[in-house]
Amino acid sequence: MKKVVASIFLLSICTTALMGAVKASTKSVVVEVENNWNKAKSDEPVVLKISDLKTGFVVKSATVWDGEKEIPSQLDDLNSDRKADELAFLINIDPQTKKTFKVVLSDQKSDKKYPSRVFAEMLVSDKKGKHVPIHSLTIPGTSNIYNQLHHHGPAFESELVAYRLYFDQKQTVDIYGKFNKGFEIEACQFYPNDDQLAKGFGDDVLRVSGSCGLGALKGWNGKKATHIEPVLQRTERILAYGPVRTICEIEVNDWEYQGSALNMINRYTLYGGHRDAIVETFFEEPLKNELFCTGVQDVKGSISYSDHKGLIGCWGTDWPVNDTVKYAKETVGLATYIPQKYVKAEVKDNANYLYTIGAEGQAYIRYNITFTSLKETFGYKTPEAWFAYMREWKEEIDHPVLVKVKR
């Protein structure tokens, strides 16, 4: 009898210890979001820095609640230390209103999955032509792996549009237009076959050549845009795959430029429900007086639009690839918006409509890019409609929601 009692006692101790060991640490915060703009916002990103929430533990999962309804969210590790740095979610909010959301953070992992509203991939080709997924790749600055990477670098998409980033000294942003809303890159890998085209898949809609394509950051030599070279090494990576947003980066080390050796990261963020992407550039050290440029490609025969205050765009038609027999010409609208605090001058070279930009004493530049394709059943059909959208797009960017954390 004593042995039975002792066994039960020990079992109770072990069970209590085990329960204590797996007890989750949690913290709930209330987040207030205010839309001061006179128009409603849909799929508006809300991003919280985990460090600002002061949880006292390593956050491994989170849920976001709009009243009694849970809404999709994602935690992102942005510096590869295997710890979450940001929590992102999307909201709809009426004009000139406030909404509150409850965020519950935990130190326990969760296997909860939400339907993804974005997709991203980077693929390297092996000797047999098989495409192998990779997260990140670093090469010496003198190496060229452009043709060993399927679709030449990371590709990423929302329901509306798709982008890819070239893994070479151009670091160009290229675009993929869709007929219908939905996801296509995983199936076609940026190159739809004849069967997929017959089913209504979209395709590459821009031949970027040596231009900046759509909003790629370039050097400026006083006469024209220049590529990101020479560099010690170049890295491209995918930091986030969804479900709310995808984040891709291009990093260069020791870019010899205008008397400096720059360590620079260009980060591209695309949210679900968005055709526009956010471009952020991080420098390891504050800039001196280095001058860069960005804008949009001068599509052949294009009509351009500028407000001369950081907004630049065009509408044009050209062959999207060198094969002019199989493929038809494509009509696209392109746009880049740079906050005026970075703008130095509006310039033009043979390939691009541009602004020169700089950020003396700072280590950060941020701007936005967007596009439409005439093949879209949900897009813009005339240059006038596209340029009107550009103006409204800029106004919306200039009226971000205000986010307050109430503990």
Sign of CA dihedral 388, 389, 394, 397: positive
Dist CA 215 CA 279 (whole Å): 8
The angle at the Cα of 140, spanning 137 to 141, to the nearest 5 degrees, equals 110
Cβ contacts of 292 within 8 Å, gap of 6 or more: 217, 218, 219, 220, 356, 357, 358, 365
Reduced to 3 states, what is the DSSP secondary structure of residue 8? helix
Domain boundaries, the chain: 24-111, 118-376
DSSP β-bridge partners for residue 236: 137, 250
Reduced to 3 states, what is the DSSP secondary structure of residue 4? helix
The residues of the chain scoring below 50 in pLDDT are: 1-20
The answer to whether 327 and 313 are in contact (CB under 8 A) is no
Cβ contacts of 373 within 8 Å, gap of 6 or more: 161, 175, 177, 178, 202, 205, 330, 331, 332, 333, 379
pLDDT at 205: 96
What would the pLDDT profile of 279-316 be if each residue is shown by its tens digit?
A: 999 999 999 999 999 999 999 989 999 999 999 999 99
Query: What would be the CATH architecture of the domain defined by 118-376?
Result: Distorted Sandwich (2.70)
Record the tokens describing residue 103, joined without a space: 């965020």
pLDDT at 21: 52
DSSP 357-398: E--BT-SEEEEEEEEEETT-SSS--SHHHHHHHHHHHHHHHT
Dist CA 311 CA 334 (whole Å): 11
Cβ contacts of 179 within 8 Å, gap of 6 or more: 200, 201, 202, 375, 376, 377
Record the tokens describing residue 125, joined without a space: 């080709």
Sheet with 61-66, edge to edge strand ranges: 69-71, 61-66, 97-106, 26-35, 402-406
Record the tokens describing residue 210, joined without a space: 């040596």
The answer to whether 177 and 289 are in contact (CB under 8 A) is no
pLDDT at 1: 45
Classify residue 342 by its DSSP letter: G
DSSP β-bridge partners for residue 226: 219
pLDDT at 321: 81
- Indicate the helix (H) or strand (E) that contains 103: strand 97-106
Model pTM score: 0.94
Classify residue 351 by its DSSP letter: S
Angstrom CA distances, 328 to 303, 316, 322, 375, stand at: 20, 14, 11, 11
CB-count exposure of residue 68 (10 Å: 0-12, 13-18, 19+): exposed
Dist CA 204 CA 317 (whole Å): 13
What would the pLDDT profile of 246-278 be if each residue is shown by its tens digit?
A: 999 999 999 999 999 999 999 999 999 999 999
Dist CA 37 CA 51 (whole Å): 28
Place of tokens 């897009």: 379
Angstrom CA distances, 267 to 93, 213, 229, 247, stand at: 27, 16, 18, 7
What superfamily does domain 24-111 belong to in CATH? Golgi alpha-mannosidase II (2.60.40.1180)
The answer to whether 135 and 122 are in contact (CB under 8 A) is yes
pLDDT at 322: 79
Record the tokens describing residue 98, joined without a space: 């406030």
